[in-house]
Amino acid sequence: MVSRRGPLRRHGPPRKITKVPRFIRLVPAVLLSVALTACGGGVHGTPGGLGLHDPYFPRAGNGGYDVTHYDLTLAYDPAHRRLTGTAVITARATEDLSAFDLDLKGLDVAGVAVEGQGAHWNRAGQELTVRPRTDLDRGETFRTTVRYCGTPETITDPDGSKEGWLHTGDGALALGEPTGSMAWFPGNDHPSDKATYDIAITVPEGLRAVSNGEPTRETTRDGRTTYAWHTSEPMASYVAMVAIGHFAVTRSTLKNGLPVYVAVDRTQTEASREVTARIPEVMEWEETNFGAYPFSSAGVVIDREGAAGYALETQNRPVFPGAPDTETLVHELAHQWYGDSVTPESWRDMWLNEGFATYAEWLWREDHGGDTAQQTFDALYRGDYYGDPEQNKAIWAFPPAKPSGAAHVSDSPVYERGAMVLHKIRQTVGDDAFYDIIQGWAAAHRHGNASTAAFTAYVEKKAPRRDFGPIWRDWLYGDGKPERP
């Protein structure tokens, strides 16, 4: 989110959603009785939970199942802004289910099937509630197919930033943090449920469609081209993306053989040439500092200016609205370790994304002739880091581990003060132990989810003779500016 964002800060949005009824469309009692008899017994499951009770986005995600794979087949007509999609969602039931919910905002549902059989469904707010013909048993793997179409929505967050399906001058850009992916595909839209993806996008010939992972197929027929991408490592829905436009896509490899895909909008070719040339250097530096790169490809997408109001750490290749500076590139690529591979358990844990990526900028500066991390820390503490006094004051608005609301999960305390927590750890343990901690943390939770409590426990385990109590109390969870730097 700068990780989205970098210098451009994006603030996480809340959602106002109407409570969804637990029961779906009414079925005549006789038909229901016949169906139950044919299935060999009465209902033994219950509806899956509506929302995962995230502290900031309580309706995000759904209970009762865990998604393992999304297979999305999309077709987009930019002239009419019309999206047609089929989503095949493979999931495992985590409890006996009589019904379950998917997150889908806007768009028209044409039909739903579970394991090839038509299922009853209804809509209420962002909830698509599905009732299979037969109950699902705990531990059962099942496939849900949703056919849908319409004009996908651009979602405006309370802070004014936009996500979901963003219309650009020559195509579209689909971004999902924190809850925008439900604007273009149905799913379990919460960072705690990661899955692999296949995304195929058909667009008018002459346009290109770029997504996460690696390209697997490109075919043209009857004036339309399909681009297929495969993501083999688990990915949270909020870092899934699609970019459609006039992109030049190049493939290269790093010294270690890792493929790098760079997609640049034709309006940004010259402006981005210098920064994209530094990708190998930045990647090598980040692997030295953070450990082995966690994914099977890297790269960037540089869309035209104004495509979005922020940069975002979409998995495998971050998205930038125009050519970024080097520090923003460092920030977003650092998120591949901290945010994309090690993903927050809930939106309360956002500082584990943004604090790490911001501190990566400090370390880059320190290693490349700029201010040391200590100098940056001191300037932030003194209150003269930014030219605007209000911006300096904003750092202390709330503790990084306790954002004051859904509209503030990407505010300055999460970024800068989150980075200050990491610097305090570094001061406490010394450089050697600090790099062991941040590399070990990325390795221990590779492709998983983690909470702030898990991080503090990990740090204490790695340095058992150190007292981290004051850091957690004053810097991570404490209100206001600590008395001493």
Q: Is the pTM of this model over 0.85?
A: yes
pLDDT digits (tens, 9 = 90+) for 165-196: 999 999 999 999 999 999 999 999 999 999 99
User: Strand pairing partners for 300?
Assistant: 262
Question: Do 83 and 110 contact (CB within 8 A), yes or no?
Answer: no
Residues in CB range of 33: below 8 A, 6 or more apart: none
Place of tokens 């531990």: 139
Rounded Cα gap, residues 298 and 283, in angstroms: 9
Q: Angle 418-429/373-382 helices, nearest 10 degrees?
A: 130
What 3-state DSSP class applies to 68? strand
- CA pair distance 339, 448, nearest whole angstrom: 10
Q: Which residues pair with 122 in a beta bridge?
A: 129
Query: What pLDDT, in 10s, does the model give residues 285-343?
Result: 999 999 999 999 999 999 999 999 999 999 999 999 999 999 999 999 999 999 999 99
The mean pLDDT of 347-367, rounded to a whole number, is 98
At 161 the pLDDT is: 86
Half-sphere CA count of 117, side-chain side, radius 13 A:
9
Q: Are 310 and 4 in contact (CB under 8 A)?
A: yes
pLDDT digits (tens, 9 = 90+) for 48-69: 988 999 999 999 999 999 999 9
CA distance 415 to 376: 13
Give me the residues paired with residue 298 across strands: 260
CA angle at 250 for the pair 245 and 252, rounded to the nearest 5°: 155
- CA separation for the pair 346, 299 (Å, rounded): 27
- CA 336 to mean position of chain CA atoms: 10
Quick one: tokens of 16? Answer: 């106002």
pLDDT score of 159 more than 90: no
- Bridge-based pairing of strands 82-93 and 195-204 is unpaired
Q: Which two tokens stand for residue 69?
A: 């794979």
Instruction: Give the residues across from 214 on adjacent strands.
Output: 230
**Half-sphere exposure (CA, 13 Å, Cβ side) for 281?**
11
**Residue 43: what pLDDT?**
55
pLDDT at 311: 98
Q: Each residue of 434-473: pLDDT tens digit? A: 999 999 999 999 999 999 999 999 999 999 999 999 999 9
Q: Of 9-18, 112-121, 261-270, 288-297, give the lowest mean pLDDT range.
A: 9-18
Task: Place 120 in a pLDDT band, splitting at 50, 70 and 90.
Answer: very high
Q: How far is CA 467 from CA 89, 200, 470, in A?
A: 46, 51, 7
> In this structure, which amino acid lies at residue 438?
I
| Contact assessment for residue 76 and residue 203, using Cβ atoms and an 8 Å cutoff | yes
Residue 419 scores a pLDDT above 60: yes
- pLDDT for 1 equals 54
How far does CA 36 lie from the centroid of its chain?
A: 40
* Tally: H helices and E strands in the chain: 12, 23
Q: Judge whether residue 263 has pLDDT over 80.
A: yes
Return the C-alpha torsion angle 209, 189, 145, 136, nearest 10. Answer: 160
Predicted pLDDT of residue 2: 57
Residue among 207, 209, 229, 208 nearest 217 (CA) = 229
Task: Answer yes or no: is pLDDT of 231 > 60.
Answer: yes
Between vectors from CA 100 to CA 98 and to CA 101, what angle results, nearest 5°?
A: 160
Q: Give the neighbor-by-neighbor strand order of the sheet with 298-303.
A: 247-253, 259-265, 298-303, 319-321
268: Cα separation from own chain's centroid: 25
DSSP string over 342-406: EEESSGGGTHHHHHHHHHHHHHHHHHTTS--HHHHHHHHHHT-SSSSHHHHHHTTSS-TTS-SSG
Residue 132 has pLDDT above 90, yes or no: yes
- pLDDT confidence band for 17 (50 / 70 / 90): very low
| One-character DSSP codes across 67-128 | EEEEEEEEEEETTTTEEEEEEEEEEEESS-EEEEEEE--SSEEEEEEETTEE-EEEEETTEE
Residue identified by tokens 């450990």 is 291
What is the residue type of 38? A
Give the contacts of 234 (CB within 8 A, at least 6 positions apart).
Answer: 194, 195, 196, 447, 448
Question: What are 339's two structure tokens?
Answer: 């945010």
Q: How confident is the model at residue 160 (pLDDT cuts 50, 70, 90)?
A: confident
Residue with tokens 């004053």: 474
pLDDT band, very low/low/confident/very high, at 223 (cuts 50, 70, 90): very high
